[in-house]
Every structure is written in structure tokens, then in C-alpha cells.
């Protein structure tokens, strides 16, 4: 069976996020925050400022994720942020970058069925949604 790294259609991803939102208004952000804290905060910091406990070991420092909207002309780059977190479509011409390829890591945890692919994309989407929620004005 051939593996594919094609992302699920955006409509499918929207359904994953929408179903998470239906549980309650606060629950998705809490779930999103929990995923962010688990996978991203050690480098990017609990508030996304690039000041996590591991950040002192990196040159350059991890990105300040609260500035994504500002750096994108006032619009949060949702799809691009998902692509960066996923990391599977990022060219690796000079070896692995410091940031983990979360798409591969989540996929290894979940497997390759269509349901697991949706789970991987759902995690990435929830982390991205959390990042959208912490943008500085």
C-alpha cells in the first residue's frame, strides 16, 4: 500500500474542528491549548512568545507565535500555519530543521487509516486554532 502525505480536503478538516466546537464554547480552546502545551510549549513557551524552557538551546530562537497575524499583514495565515506544523511538505534540502515534523510524529502515533489521517489533521488544526486565539493585536 502506497503512503500518501496529501492533506485531507479542507472541508473534512472543517468538519473535524466543527464537531469539536459543538461540544462547548470553552472546550475546543482548552483542547487546543492542551495540545499546544504538550507539543509546542517547551520550545515556543506557554504563551507562544518563543521563550520555552528549551529555547535557550536554539539559534535562532523559536518563533514568537503571537506575531503570525501581524507578520502576515493582519490576517492569520491558517493554512500556512497548518503546513508548517505538519512539516511533511517542507523541503529538507539541508537535513532536518530543528522543529519536529509533527505530521509524521502524529501519524506514527495514529497509523494510516482514513480515520487516523483525520485525527492527525485534527490535532494540527486544533493547535493552529489555538495559535489564532493567542495573536497579539
Instruction: Kindly report, residue by residue over 69-110, the tens digit of the pLDDT.
Output: 999 999 999 999 998 898 877 655 444 466 777 777 777 776
CATH no., domain 10-90+97-133: 1.10.760
Give dist(CA 28, CA 52) in Å, integer.
23
Q: The pTM is what?
A: 0.71
State the CB neighbour count (10 A cutoff) for residue 38: 11
What integer best gives the mean pLDDT of the chain? 78
Give the burial string for 86-115 (b: 16+ CB within 10 Å, else e).
bbeeeeeeeeeeebebbbeebbeebeeeee
Domain residue spans of the chain: 10-90+97-133
| pLDDT tens column, 46-62 | 999 999 999 888 888 89
Amino acid at each position: 500500500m502506497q503512503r500518501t502525505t496529501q492533506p485531507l480536503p479542507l472541508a473534512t478538516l472543517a468538519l473535524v474542528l466543527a464537531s469539536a466546537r459543538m461540544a462547548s464554547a470553552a472546550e475546543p480552546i482548552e483542547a487546543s491549548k492542551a495540545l499546544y502545551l504538550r507539543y509546542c510549549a517547551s520550545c515556543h513557551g506557554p504563551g507562544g512568545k518563543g521563550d520555552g524552557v528549551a529555547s535557550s538551546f536554539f539559534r535562532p530562537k523559536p518563533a514568537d507565535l503571537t506575531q503570525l497575524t501581524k507578520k502576515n499583514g493582519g490576517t492569520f495565515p491558517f493554512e500556512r500555519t497548518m503546513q508548517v506544523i505538519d512539516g511533511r511538505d517542507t523541503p529538507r534540502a539541508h537535513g532536518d530543521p530543528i522543529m519536529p515534523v509533527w505530521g509524521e510524529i502524529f501519524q506514527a502515533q495514529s497509523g494510516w487509516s482514513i480515520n487516523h489521517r483525520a485525527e492527525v489533521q485534527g490535532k494540527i488544526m486544533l493547535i493552529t486554532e489555538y495559535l489564532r486565539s493567542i495573536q497579539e493585536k
